[in-house]
Structures are given as C-alpha cells and as structure tokens.
Amino acid sequence: MVSVAKTPPANTDFEQWLSTLSSSWSDEQRERIKQAHHATLVAHPDNVIGLTAADLLADLRLDHEAIIAALLHQAVSSKALPQDLVRQRFGAGVAVLVEGIERLDTIGVLHQRGLHNPTQLEGLRKMLLAMAQDVRVVLIKLALQLCRMRSIKQLAEPEQQRLAHETMDIFAPLANRLGIGQFKWEMEDLALRTIDPISYKAIAKALDERRRDREHYINSVLEQLRQTLDRAGIEADLTGRVKHIYSIWRKMQRKQLPFEQIFDVRAVRILVHTVAECYSALGVVHTLWKNIPQEFDDYIANPKGNGYQSLHTAVIGPQGKTLEVQIRT
C-alpha cells in the first residue's frame, strides 16, 4: 500500500513546497512547475485543488510532467487556458496528460445516465483505464477526485450527491485496484459522509477517536506485543491496521450487526514460522489481554473451504478497547 501525504500544501508557501520536491529534478523542471502554478493563478487565485493534487502526486513519486498537469487542470477545465497554449508553453508530454484527464471527465457523464449495476460500473472502470492509455492520467484523475471530495461542502447538495456516488462507484475501487489504499479509504469515508451522514456520524461518535489516534494506538500495541513475543522466544513479523468508517459501516450492513459487535475495528496480524508457534503466540496474546471467548476461531484445525488457515481471536486490549488478532504462518 502506498502511503500518501496527509498535509496538503494549500496553507504553505509555494516556494517552500517546491523546495521539498524530488532532488533529482533539474532547475529547469522546477521552473516549469512554477510557471504552471502561476499560469493557473490567473484564473484561480488559490488553486487549492491543483496544489493539493500535485502534492499527493509528488508523494507518489510521479514525474514533473504529472505535477504540471495537475496544477494546470483547473485552468484548462474552466477554459481559461487553451490546450494548444498548454502544448506550446509546457510541451507535448504535459499536453497529452492534460488532454487525457479531460477525456476521463466524460466518465462522470456516463455514470449520471444511470449505469449503476455492478456489471455496468465495472465496464465504466475498464473504459476509464482503456481511455487513459498512460497510467499517470489515471493517477492524476484520482488525486484530483480526492481533492474535490475534500472540498465537497462548497458544492450545492445535488452536486455533492453526484460527486459522492461517482467517487464511491468508480474512483475508490480504481484506487484500490492500483494499490493506493490511502486514496481508497479517504474517498470512501468522504463519500459515505455525504451519502449517509447519519450513519457516518453515529460510527464516528462510537469510535470517539480520530483515525490518527487509532493508528497511534495500534503502533503502541504492536510494540508491546513485539517485546512480549521476543521475551517468549517467538520470532514474528507484526503488522496492524485500523478499519476506516466506511469499512465498519459496510460490515455492519453486510452482517446486520451493531457497532458494539464489530471486533476488528483495530486489528493485528502475527506471522510466525511454524504451526506450533501459532499456538504459542496465541498463548502470549491471551496472557497479555483478556480474550472474548465467542470470538475465537481456529482455522488451522478447521481450514476454510478455500484452504485458508489462521487463528483468529478478539481481546480487550489496552485502555479497554477491543482488538482482533490474526496469527498464521
């Protein structure tokens, strides 16, 4: 999963932001980025969407042409900057990317026409990938879409609903397909907040903590678990994750469960070398924290139909918070 920047450059000095970009870029490339920013400022004095998208793309390590295309998008889409002028001032490479982004905007029109069943939506996603030709175009479009979702409250209510459904149906699954999990979860959460604000607020209130706080909690759990396993002589790889609000909502809908019965809001995975170590690690976990008996599953002794083997347990972790633990080889 690719990790993306959480702090957009909209509130920072542009020159300072520019200085943080890849050191492998030449002074000429940086100057072209600056020119693109200034060209857009004529029509859009803040260019928040372009700047924030450019920052996301820089964190994905895309090249300077992709950064320029993102910065120019608002000016081009509003017709303030003709595409032939883009080609003349910034070169054919940037022009091709800008034109590609404009073509992808037609996907939203098709989505508005009622192509909403799973087969049709998958067809739209495949069409988008085929139209793009260059994967950078898709990545730029995803970054721009996420930035629009972040500022969705500025739109009229019907446009908010259209953008949220389009994002949930087309762009969040595309982000997942391309391995950009951070884009996916933020798009899904922002879309759910617009589509079903009551459910979103209820889950957010039940969580009673920000995602960043949950991530900090998982990191502290991993460190405690790592030290305890080391003392027990068990060599293990540990990973953790926190469910985002849309993922919690989806599980509640699918299994018809209240929030209180969703035990994997916070989860840890333990990878060991042998089956015997799986059970030893389970003993360590249950010694550290009180287990929830009805939430234990032994898929090693009783593998799933697809051959999946693992130990699943849920415990009352630090601060009285539930924690799911999966242990496998």
DSSP category for residue 105: T
Q: What is the pLDDT of residues 110-155, one digit of tens each?
A: 777 666 678 888 887 888 788 878 899 999 999 999 999 999 999 9
210 or 263, which is more confident?
263
Q: What is the pLDDT of residues 165-191, one digit of tens each?
A: 999 999 999 999 999 998 999 999 999
The pLDDT-based confidence of 195 (bands split at 50, 70, 90) is very high
Position 114 scores a pLDDT of 66
Burial class (CB in 10 A: 0-12, 13-18, 19+), 231: exposed
pLDDT greater than 60 at residue 6: no
C-alpha–C-alpha distance, residues 75 and 54, integer Å: 14
Query: Mean pLDDT of all residues in the chain?
Result: 88
What percentage of the chain carries pLDDT values higher than 70?
A: 94
Position 8 scores a pLDDT of 44
Position 7 scores a pLDDT of 44
Q: What is the pLDDT of residues 256-297, one digit of tens each?
A: 999 988 888 889 999 999 999 999 999 999 999 999 988 999
- Domains of the chain from N-terminus onward: 9-195 (1.10.3210.10), 211-328 (3.30.460.10)
pLDDT greater than 90 at residue 211: no
pLDDT greater than 80 at residue 18: yes
Position 10 scores a pLDDT of 47
Position 105 scores a pLDDT of 81
What percentage of the chain carries pLDDT values higher than 90?
A: 57
| 3-state SS string for the chain | CCCCCCCCHHHCCHHHHHHCCCCCCCHHHHHHHHHHHHHHHCCCCCCHHHHHHHHHHHHCCCCHHHHHHHHHHHHHHCCCCCHHHHHHHHCHHHHHHHHHHHHHCHHHHHHHCCCCCHHHHHHHHHHHHHHHCCHHHHHHHHHHHHHHHHCHHHCCHHHHHHHHHHHHHHHHHHHHHCCCHHHHHHHHHHHHHHHCHHHHHHHHHHHCCCHHHHHHHHHHHHHHHHHHHHHCCCCCEEEEEECCHHHHHHHHHHHCCCHHHCCCCEEEEEECCCHHHHHHHHHHHHHHCEECHHHCEECCCCCCCCCCCCEEEEEECHHHCEEEEEEEC
Position 290 scores a pLDDT of 95
For residues 62-90, give the mean pLDDT.
91
Position 20 scores a pLDDT of 79
Position 258 scores a pLDDT of 92
Any idea which residue has 């903590």 for tokens? 209
Position 131 scores a pLDDT of 80
Position 143 scores a pLDDT of 97
pLDDT greater than 90 at residue 48: no
Looking at the whole model, is its pTM more than 0.75? yes
